[in-house]
Amino acid sequence: MNRSDIFLYGLVTAIFAIIVISVWADVKRNKKLAILWRHYQTSLSGGNKQKALKDGRTYYNTLRRGNIQPSDEFSIAKDMNAVK
């Protein structure tokens, strides 16, 4: 094995590791989002508006990676009004 082969092997290994870590992080985030969504829906159906508001904001904040949008607040308000 010469130097260029070793370099190429190292490069391919590094790229593979980055892809695996990226996919793993995405799967973990999606699981967290699913849990947060269920909490939000449970709060809505339970009628606890304060908890629903908190859980909805937590869900959308995580979904938007910390940048909750006015449309998210509107969606939360709409959801809360729908389950009166």
Q: Where are the domains of the chain?
A: 26-82
pLDDT of residue 15 exceeding 70, the answer is yes
pLDDT of residue 38 exceeding 90, the answer is yes
Question: What pLDDT is stored for residue 34 in this prediction?
Answer: 98
| 83 phi and psi angles, rounded to 5 deg | -105, 20
pLDDT band at 30 (very low <50, low <70, confident <90, very high): very high
CA distances 60 to 2, 16, 41, 81, Å, are 52, 31, 13, 18
pLDDT of residue 35 exceeding 90, the answer is yes
Task: Tell whether pTM > 0.85.
Answer: no
